[in-house]
Amino acid sequence: MITTRQSDIAKKLNISRVTVSKALRDHPDISRSMKIKVKETAADMGYIPNLIAKQLNSRKTFTIGVVIPDLENSFFAYVADSIIDCATEKGYRVILTVSREKESVEKENIENLIGMRVDGLLICISQETRNTEVFSQIKRMNIPLVFFDRIIRDNDFSSVVFNDKEGAIEALTQIITSGYRKIAHFSGYSGISIGKERLNGYKTALKKHNIPLKKEWIIEGGFEISDGRNAMRKLISQGEMPEVILAVNDRVAMGAFLEAKKTGLRIPSDVCFIYYGFSETNNISSPSMSVINQDPRKLGIRSAQILLDLIRKKTNSKPVREILDEQIIWNKSKKKL
């Protein structure tokens, strides 16, 4: 790679490299005419400042490091997009890393980002993550960090998450007061926080309205389309069908939806769906399903804002814990739900 340095400009103009440095940064020391001369030659020579060198002595990189579990998941793609948007607007770059839901990869990514001396970290932990040693080190090193969407317990970092439990309670309350009482839940794994909270919301809502839990109607599995299909098959094989199915995420809902259609069930008259997700994933299912909408852009933007405030010390060191509300988007066919 061929680059022009300040010293090259200095040599060409027969002046000191410091003069060049100052002139380029509009330092008041330098005369107007000299500034113009320097800037013109810099442009002529295609000078592009070496940020690495700048960073080394300012100990600021204007870069934030992001760790997400998976970019193919469009929820996270939207989050990443809005983080980049927000960061870029404020003059920060983004190094994006993907953990593939593996704790070990996550750890590598984080250490790598710290090695790059990013000014702050935005992390959504993997489903596997148990060991919190890395995070203690981050605390010790005093690196600004904001967890988003998923959090580790017992920490004093800032975080931004959705109000999972409340979402289910609100949605199911409305459904129940509309007269439905036969409600099943495809819950993913209740091992990870997201699964647990949503299941928790489901149970709480039913209890609140004195609807007894039916164990067969809480079907665990995974978080993928195939898991939704399996859950639906299992449900159908059991005989009695619910009127409403609450799915833990969009992919499970999709799988269940497709399987239901395949089996000849009419939607929404035989059974209808509501799921945790975000509106953009629901574009083409027909008839459309209802959504407990968790807006990824809101999540990304708030996380980035909080981190940047932390970096710029606009916040005192007390951790900010933000809980975002979801909106419920009802299926357009108002007949059902």
Closest to 194 (Cα-Cα) out of 64, 76, 110: 76
Q: How far apart are CA 121 and CA 63, in angstroms?
A: 9
Element holding 114 (H helix, E strand): helix 103-115
The sign of the dihedral angle between the CA atoms of 116, 117, 121, 124 is positive
Say whether residue 33 binds a second copy (CB under 8 A): no
Say whether residue 334 binds a second copy (CB under 8 A): no
The piece of 25-33, 67-75, 160-168, 292-300 that touches DNA (CB under 7 A) is 25-33
**Least Å from the CB of residue 299 to DNA:** 34
**Under 8 Å CB-to-CB from 45, ≥6 apart: which residues?**
4, 8, 9, 12
**Least Å from the CB of residue 304 to DNA:** 26
Among 12, 22, 102, 297, the residue binding DNA under the rule CB under 7 A is 22
Tell me the two tokens of residue 251: 């992919």
Q: How far apart are CA 134 and CA 243, in angstroms?
A: 46
**Start-to-end C-alpha separation, the chain:** 62
Say whether residue 319 binds DNA (CB under 7 A): no
The piece of 14-22, 164-172, 240-248, 299-307 that touches DNA (CB under 7 A) is 14-22
C-alpha angle 71/78/281, rounded to 5°? 95
Say whether residue 15 binds DNA (CB under 7 A): yes
Contact 256, 194 (CB under 8 A): no
- Report how far Cα 40 is from the mean position of its chain's Cα atoms: 44
**Least Å from the CB of residue 5 to DNA:** 3
Q: How far apart are CA 157 and CA 11, in angstroms?
A: 50
Say whether residue 317 binds a second copy (CB under 8 A): no
Q: How far apart are CA 269 and CA 271, in angstroms?
A: 6
Say whether residue 315 binds a second copy (CB under 8 A): no
The piece of 20-28, 31-39, 139-147, 315-323 that touches a second copy (CB under 8 A) is 139-147
Among 36, 40, 44, 58, the residue binding DNA under the rule CB under 7 A is 58
Angle of helix 164-177 versus helix 193-208 axis, rounded to 10 = 30
Say whether residue 234 binds DNA (CB under 7 A): no
Say whether residue 43 binds a second copy (CB under 8 A): no
Say whether residue 19 binds DNA (CB under 7 A): yes
Strands (E), the chain: 63-68, 93-98, 120-123, 145-148, 158-162, 183-188, 218-220, 244-247, 272-277, 290-293, 321-324, 327-329
**Least Å from the CB of residue 186 to a second copy:** 16
Segment 215 to 254, residues that bind a second copy, using CB under 8 A? 225, 254
Q: How far apart are CA 297 and CA 305, in angstroms?
A: 12
Among 54, 208, 209, 262, the residue binding DNA under the rule CB under 7 A is 54
- Binding mask 96-135 toward a second copy (x if CB under 8 A, else -) reads xxx------------xx-xxxx-x----------------
Segment 45 to 64, residues that bind a second copy, using CB under 8 A? 46, 48-53, 55-56, 59, 61, 63
Chain residues in the site for a second copy (CB under 8 A): 1-3, 46, 48-53, 55-56, 59, 61, 63, 70-72, 74, 77-78, 80-81, 84-85, 88, 93-98, 111-112, 114-117, 119, 137, 140-143, 225, 254, 257-258, 261, 283-286
User: What residue ranges bind DNA (CB under 7 A)?
Assistant: 3, 5-7, 15-19, 21-22, 24-25, 29-31, 34, 49-50, 53-54, 56-59
